Amino acid sequence: MPKTPLAPRKAPRQDRSRKTCDAILKAAAGILEREGQTGLNTNHVARKAGVSIGSLYQYFPNKQSIIGALIRARRETLLAGMEEVFEAAGEAGLEEIVRAMVAKRLQQDFRRPALVQALQRAEAELPEDKDLRQMRTRVEALIVAVLAEYYIDDPETVARDVLAIGDGMVRAAVDAGETDAAALGARVDRAVLGYLATIVED
Amino acid sequence: MPKTPLAPRKAPRQDRSRKTCDAILKAAAGILEREGQTGLNTNHVARKAGVSIGSLYQYFPNKQSIIGALIRARRETLLAGMEEVFEAAGEAGLEEIVRAMVAKRLQQDFRRPALVQALQRAEAELPEDKDLRQMRTRVEALIVAVLAEYYIDDPETVARDVLAIGDGMVRAAVDAGETDAAALGARVDRAVLGYLATIVED
Amino acid sequence: MPKTPLAPRKAPRQDRSRKTCDAILKAAAGILEREGQTGLNTNHVARKAGVSIGSLYQYFPNKQSIIGALIRARRETLLAGMEEVFEAAGEAGLEEIVRAMVAKRLQQDFRRPALVQALQRAEAELPEDKDLRQMRTRVEALIVAVLAEYYIDDPETVARDVLAIGDGMVRAAVDAGETDAAALGARVDRAVLGYLATIVED
Amino acid sequence: MPKTPLAPRKAPRQDRSRKTCDAILKAAAGILEREGQTGLNTNHVARKAGVSIGSLYQYFPNKQSIIGALIRARRETLLAGMEEVFEAAGEAGLEEIVRAMVAKRLQQDFRRPALVQALQRAEAELPEDKDLRQMRTRVEALIVAVLAEYYIDDPETVARDVLAIGDGMVRAAVDAGETDAAALGARVDRAVLGYLATIVED
DNA sequence: GATGAATGAGCCTTCATTCAT
DNA sequence: GATGAATGAAGGCTCATTCAT
């Protein structure tokens, strides 16, 4: 039993519950996006969700679990996207798969970039969460699988680097106010492929 | 006149002042490193610095200005390092310069990685600061200058990407608990050079 | 019309009602015993009773009335026990009656001592309740009757003192972790009889 | 390091501090006396003390520590009183000493009976505190010393009983609205002496 | 009658900042 | 200049109670 559980308090059964829970997460996401962590306080979230503070605590045992739920949701989407690409890969070459993955990722992260950034920052302040960590691992594992097929050495580290390159570039691009996902995607493609090329050569 | 000035209240002239100011920054850095932003509160900083809370506010108009000062200090060091490399470059080729810059950067960021990460996260929550933004620009400008010499297109964007790749990889490496700066450096070299290679080719 | 009625909302007639009501009281007693007043909240009680919070409020108009019911139940048992002893007294001497009453009382209070203590403390925080006060009076009256038969002066005060001596000793014994009801009973007998002896002598 | 420390946060050094701290304790005592634990909340205490809530938390780490301080103060007074009597005892007989102790105790507890009752109840809900427990032990030890001098068997238990008899009778008397400390004292004397008589006889 | 989602007043506590000494 | 006591807005969270379904 962790001190500050990140999991939601209860899964909403009734229809009304589902709505309340969603409204809370939506409100939280909106605030995080617009005002950052500073503006994220439980009363504010509840008010914006059109829900009483008591209801909020019915579904989330504490503030951090709300952030946790948002992170989890995002990561689930990401994981699903990657799996989709992976399964659709078929005979495609490494380059093609990389491009597809990069595209998928940008397509998801570039819809609400400020939110994604805020979530990424917020996660660092959260206590360790097995569940969350595991989801990250699974995304990495997927990439490891792809890399391994191409006989790339130390695929774990490479997978991490590849993800890290994307993270860094997306973050910087968002900070700089870029809005053209395609252009950014092209650059990320080049960066990742360029990095992989130096490895294959070796 | 910004609402929350990030600049220190006064440039400490006297020796005692200088010492007090340093003690505060040192304490703040230590806390940030060990406990993250959560543990960083002005009373805590003052106590750890062996200074009264009143004195703290003599040197820093508010909490954010302390973080601002830490960020500024780090960036000044970084800038100085980059300039040093730049000036020592002489006839060196692009690859050599890149390697030198990456090495310099890792050498600086890998000494207190947790602090660097915390500062990076903290900056995002700080209000815009012209001064700070300018310093980042100057680092980028330096790289732009290097790139331009090699006739690289859109050097501003490339400079940003190059920095971003390094940022991302360092962050991920630290998160993963890596401690071998040289090994990481080699990978960052490859990533950056790989990226640049795809550009030059075009 | 008191602000916070201590009486149950309705006398449960049907069988199911009776069961629900009992389950609630049982759950409340268990919580009070194990966690003290701190752990006693209506939601907790309802959950432990396997009853919805709505049902709980069907039978008890408010939280205090649950405590009130527990106190009443305990006092009813006590009163019944005392009456029983009183009626069985017959030709017995004062000493014998006292011993019997003390024994009866310990037999009842020592079964769930923590609960009894908690109830006693809780009662002090409850608003005055005519009904409850009356029940205490009736226990006292019984003792007064016994004492009067032995021509003891100011029997009301003496009755109160006799009860108080028992209360105090039981409480202290429980606090100290005593578990031997017989041993405690012997001491209470001596204390009460010793006290009465000083009165009769006078 | 206990979860909820009962000791005050810091000993007030400056004169102003001392005043603030006293004002808080005084206010808390007043509230406890008049409204019981129900009315005792930190904001209320601070307001009544004419002090900001922040100041309150400068001296007391949490609500419970305020109650703890009140209990400690009362017990210190009691202990001092008992020691005083003990030292003044000289050649006095057991009876005389008992009378003096009972008198001393009533003199202290009957000045603010409601407060004393409330504190007694409150203590039961507080987490264990070594310091507090020790003080109680020391009072008992004093009585044990007296009893031992008169070759009374199992003096620890007897001491506890003697104190318990007093506790119970005072509590009941206060509940019943008695105000004549002398009259009550006479009865407590008789109860305690009566109890001791039954032991000596044996 | 039963259910349990919803409510919101109110409590405990923190911490950036001020200001009298 | 230095000190640290004092301030109070603000935030996290609980729990008695209501009411729509």
Find the mean pLDDT for residues A64-91.
93
What is the 3-class SS of chain A, one letter each residue?
A: CCCCCCCCCCCCCCHHHHHHHHHHHHHHHHHHHHHHHHHCCHHHHHHHHCCCHHHHHHHCCCHHHHHHHHHHHHHHHHHHHHHHHHHHHCCCCHHHHHHHHHHHHHHHHCCCHHHHHHHHHHHHHCCCCHHHHHHHHHHHHHHHHHHHHCCCCCHHHHHHHHHHHHHHHHHHHHHCCCCCHHHHHHHHHHHHHHHHHHHHHC
pLDDT at A101: 95
Strand E atom within 7 Å of A20 CB: yes
By C1' distance from the Cα of A64, the closest nucleotide is F12
Asked if D11 reaches chain C (Cβ–Cβ under 8 Å), the answer is no
Q: Identify which of C152, C200, C199 has the alpha carbon closest to the alpha carbon of residue D186.
A: C199
pLDDT at C2: 43
Q: How far is the CA of D14 from the C1' of F4 (A)?
A: 10
Strand F atom within 7 Å of C37 CB: no
Find the mean pLDDT for residues D65-83.
95
- Distance between CA D121 and CA C114 in Å, rounded? 14
Neighbours of chain D (3+ CB pairs under 8 A): C
What is the 3-class SS of B142-201, one letter each residue?
A: HHHHHHHHCCCCCHHHHHHHHHHHHHHHHHHHHHCCCCCHHHHHHHHHHHHHHHHHHHHH
Q: Which residue is nearest to nucleotide F19 (CA to C1')?
A: C54
- Distance between CA C64 and CA B41 in Å, rounded? 43
Strand E atom within 7 Å of A55 CB: yes
- D39: nearest CA partner in chain C: C125
Residues in chain D: 202
By C1' distance from the Cα of C46, the closest nucleotide is E4
By C1' distance from the Cα of C53, the closest nucleotide is E4
Strand F atom within 7 Å of D10 CB: yes
Tokens of D118: 């409330």
Find the mean pLDDT for residues D79-96.
89
Nearest to D161 among C38, C117, C169 (CB): C169
Long-range contact set of residues A100-107: C-beta below 8 Å, sequence gap at least 24: A101/A143, A102/A166, A102/A185, A102/A188, A102/A189, A102/A192, A103/A185, A105/A78, A105/A81, A105/A166, A106/A170, A106/A181, A106/A184, A106/A185, A106/A188, A107/A81, A107/A181
Tokens of A140: 């990495």
pLDDT at D1: 40
Nearest to C161 among D117, D191, D197 (CB): D191
Chains B and A touch (3+ CB pairs under 8 A): yes
Positive or negative, the CA dihedral C137, C139, C144, C149 is positive
- Distance between CA A45 and CA A50 in Å, rounded? 9
Does residue A176 register a pLDDT over 50?
Answer: yes
By the 10 Å C-beta count (0-12 exposed, 13-18 middle, 19+ buried), D173 is classed as buried
pLDDT confidence band for A3 (50 / 70 / 90): low
Strand F atom within 7 Å of B42 CB: no
**pLDDT, tens digit, 9 for 90 and up, residues B145-183:** 999 988 889 999 999 999 999 999 999 999 999 999 999
Q: Identify which of A5, A77, A12 has the alpha carbon closest to the alpha carbon of residue A51.
A: A12
Residues in chain A: 202
Taking phi over 0 as left and psi of -120 to 50 as alpha, with beta for the rest, A137 belongs to: alpha
Contacts of D125 in chain C (CB under 8 A): 36-38, 121
Find the mean pLDDT for residues A74-94.
90
CA-based nearest distance C148→chain D, Å: 18
Tokens of D30: 């007043």
What architecture does CATH give domain A70-201? Orthogonal Bundle (1.10)
Look at D125 and C38 and tell me if their CB atoms are within 8 Å. yes
Q: How far is the CA of B17 from the C1' of F1 (A)?
A: 10
- Distance between CA B191 and CA B166 in Å, rounded? 8
Does residue B16 register a pLDDT over 80?
Answer: no
At residue B128, φ and ψ (nearest 5 deg) are: -50, 140
CA D138: distance to chain centroid?
12
pLDDT at D14: 60
Query: Residue-wise pLDDT tens for chain C (202 aa)?
Result: 445 767 666 555 567 788 899 999 999 999 999 999 999 999 999 999 999 999 999 999 999 999 999 999 999 999 999 999 988 887 888 999 999 999 999 999 999 999 999 999 999 999 989 999 999 999 999 999 999 988 889 999 999 999 999 999 999 999 999 999 999 999 999 999 999 999 875 5
What number of other Cβ atoms are within 10 A of residue B87's Cβ?
8
Protein contacts on strand E: list nucleotides below 7 Å from a Cβ. 1-20
Could you give the percent of chain A with pLDDT greater than 90?
78
Q: With contact defined as beta carbons under 8 Å apart, do C46 and C24 qualify? A: yes
pLDDT confidence band for B201 (50 / 70 / 90): low
Asked if C157 reaches chain D (Cβ–Cβ under 8 Å), the answer is yes
Contacts of D166 in chain C (CB under 8 A): 168
Options 1.10.10.10, 1.10.10.60, 3.30.70.100, 1.20.1440.120; CATH for B15-63 is 1.10.10.60
pTM given for the model:
0.88
Find the mean pLDDT for residues A73-88.
93
pLDDT at C1: 41
Q: How far is the CA of A156 from the C1' of E10 (A)?
A: 52
Name the 3-class secondary structure at B11.
Answer: coil
Contacts of A113 in chain B (CB under 8 A): none
Find the mean pLDDT for residues B112-134.
92
**pLDDT, tens digit, 9 for 90 and up, residues A35-56:** 999 999 999 999 999 999 999 9
Look at B169 and A168 and tell me if their CB atoms are within 8 Å. yes
Residues 180-199 of chain A with CB under 7 A from strand E are none
Q: With contact defined as beta carbons under 8 Å apart, do C72 and C121 qualify? A: no
Element of type H or E holding C111 = none
CATH classification of C15-201 is 1.10.357.10, yes or no?
yes
Region D68-201: CATH code: 1.10.357.10
Region B71-201: CATH code: 1.10.357.10
Tokens of D83: 């020691």
Look at B173 and A191 and tell me if their CB atoms are within 8 Å. no
Q: How far is the CA of D14 from the C1' of E20 (A)?
A: 13
Q: How far is the CA of D17 from the C1' of E20 (A)?
A: 14
Look at B161 and A187 and tell me if their CB atoms are within 8 Å. yes
pLDDT confidence band for D24 (50 / 70 / 90): very high
Alpha-helix runs per DSSP H in D126-178: 130-149, 155-175
**pLDDT, tens digit, 9 for 90 and up, residues B77-95:** 999 999 999 888 878 889 9
Look at C36 and D124 and tell me if their CB atoms are within 8 Å. yes
Residues 53-92 of chain D with CB under 7 A from strand F are 53-55, 57-58
Neighbours of chain C (3+ CB pairs under 8 A): D
- The residue among C109, C165, C171, C178 with the most chain D CBs within 10 A of its CB, best to mutate, is C165
The better pLDDT of the pair A5, B74 is held by B74
Q: Where in chain B is the domain with CATH 1.10.357.10?
A: 71-201
